[in-house]
Every structure is written in C-alpha cells, then in structure tokens.
Amino acid sequence: MAKEMYDACDQAGNPLGYALVRGDPIPEGVWHLVVEVFSVTAGGRVLVTRRHPDKSWGGYWEYTGGSVVKGETPLQGALRELREETGITAAAEDLHPVYVEARPGIDGYNTIYHSFLAVFDPEAQTIRLQEGETVDYRLLPYGDFLQFILTGQCATPICSRFLDHQAAFEQLMAEYLHQ
C-alpha cells in the first residue's frame, strides 16, 4: 500500500515544493495542513463520529477531519474527508470556512487547521462510516453537543479547538441554519 503523502508548507500554509510522508518526522519549521468539518443539519443537530479503537484517541468522539493529502487544497481535502468518513457528499459551496489556525505541535508535528461548517440534510444523505476510521455516529441537538463535549468522551484536541472558536461556529450556524 502506498504511503500517504502531504505537501510540506511554511507557517502561512504556502507549499515548500516537497512532500512529507505520513509517520515520518517533520523537519523543524515545516507545517502540514489538516481539515475539520463541523457537520450540522438545517435543524441544528451536530454530527459526531466515534473513532475506531485502533486509532489514536480510539473510542473517543469527534467531528470529521483529517490531513490534506499531496496536491489537494484544504477545501478539496474537507470534501474528501467528509465523503470518506461519513458518506456525506457536499459541493464546495456547501462548506463555509470557520477559521484557519496554525498550532505548533508538542511533538514537532506543526499543523495548520482549516475548519469548515457543512450544513446537510440527513433525509437526503445516508451516513456511512469508514471502516478502520469510525465505528458509530450520533446526531446531537446543538445544546446537547455543547454538554457532550465537556463529558470527557470527546477527543480533547478537537473539542478544545471547537471551544476556542465556538463564537465563529455559532455565527455561521445562525447565518446558515433554519432553527
């Protein structure tokens, strides 16, 4: 099986012209791109998925996300991750940027997060879990989601990033949801 490759970037997200290999050490000062997709129904229910037990943070809940692979834009990566991990297909105009944030890794794995809000219709989409990635899902009313992420059942880094940018999420939700 081919190893997953990422574009090496500077801290501003500009490609450096070479690839990184998943699992290999990242040189100092080099960054890689990760996308997160916060999927919400028009009625305000939030999709969370449970990580496969063999993954880091196995058994914990999260919203959709993953690395942007070599040659992809963050938007393309978000659309791919959403489709792969949940079965939800979306068009580019269905994803609304929430924030971009560079976070240095304590292990030298410097990451630039591109976060998106996706509004989807659960009646028109069939949620399908990706084998080896996700093992369960829930659609939580937003208020329940806010309580749920504080229970310790969610992957801490993901919940921390959401809480850091909660106001931006809520602003977009007010704009795009019909609650």
Look at residue 78 in the predicted model and tell me its pLDDT.
98
CA atoms of 166 and 175, how far apart (whole Å): 14
pLDDT per residue rounded down to tens, the chain (179 residues) = 678 999 999 999 999 999 999 888 888 899 999 999 999 999 999 999 999 999 989 999 999 999 999 999 999 999 999 999 999 999 999 999 999 999 987 666 899 999 999 999 999 999 999 999 999 999 999 999 999 999 999 999 999 999 999 999 999 999 988 65
The β-bridge partners of 119 are 40
CA atoms of 51 and 48, how far apart (whole Å): 10
Look at residue 109 in the predicted model and tell me its pLDDT.
82
For the chain, the 3-state helix, strand and coil shares in percent, each to the nearest 5, are: 25, 35, 40
| 103 DSSP assignment | E
Cβ partners under 8 Å of residue 171, min gap 6: none
CA atoms of 148 and 159, how far apart (whole Å): 10
Element (H, E) at 173: helix 166-176
Cα-based angle 36, 39, 43 (whole degrees, multiple of 5) = 155
Look at residue 25 in the predicted model and tell me its pLDDT.
86
Look at residue 177 in the predicted model and tell me its pLDDT.
83
